[in-house]
Amino acid sequence: MTEHLENLRNEGSDGTEPLQEGGFFDALSRINELEYECAARDKQLESLRGKLLDTEIGRRAALMGIPPERAGHIARLANLDRVFGDDGELDDDALGAAIDAVLSDVPELKGGRANGGAFNPRGAAISKSEAYRQQISDANAKGDLLTVVSLKRKARKLGISV
């Protein structure tokens, strides 16, 4: 595309094709059109790269057991300047390093509900059965027998032993 722009700019300057009347303005108009198209495509490319990064960060966060609502925080905090190589391809290692850097700086992003588990302030996901046991224990401690019975029935329906 850039080569084509240069050819239009230099039209007639090398003596191969002299400009005819109106040719200069036609060429200038075409150059402007092509520059506008290039700018629009660059904007579209940046938008697609942003969507790719958001999707990839969300996917990696899910694999790490991080709640989806926290993946956006990781994307905003990560230094994503070097995640695309010179060829425009996503560098998986660089993206992984950027995510790891955020998680080491803000380990709280790892905690929470992950893989259906209950909130665990230490950041590790716990099993569903352990989550139900904790909820039943809390309801028992409060004397809320209706919640205890409800949780036990729900656990049995899901095939979870409590």
Residues 66, 140, single domain; the answer is no
φ/ψ (deg, to 5) at 24: -65, -45
Residues 98, 38, single domain; the answer is yes
pLDDT tens digits, residue range 94-142?
Answer: 888 888 888 888 888 876 544 444 444 444 555 677 777 888 888 888 8
Per-residue confidence (pLDDT) for residue 117, from 0 to 100: 44
Q: How many residues does the chain have?
A: 162
Does residue 133 belong to any structural domain of this protein?
yes
Per-residue confidence (pLDDT) for residue 70, from 0 to 100: 85
Q: Scan for tokens 């200069």, then name that residue.
A: 24
Residues 76, 23, single domain; the answer is yes
Looking at residue 109, what DSSP letter applies? G
Looking at residue 127, what DSSP letter applies? -
pLDDT tens digits, residue range 8-33?
Answer: 555 555 445 554 556 777 888 889 99
Residues 46, 92, single domain; the answer is yes
Residues 57, 102, single domain; the answer is yes
Does residue 123 belong to any structural domain of this protein?
no
- The answer to whether 56 and 75 are in contact (CB under 8 A) is no
State how many domains the chain has. 2
Domain range spanning residue 55? 2-110
Average pLDDT over residues 75-103: 87
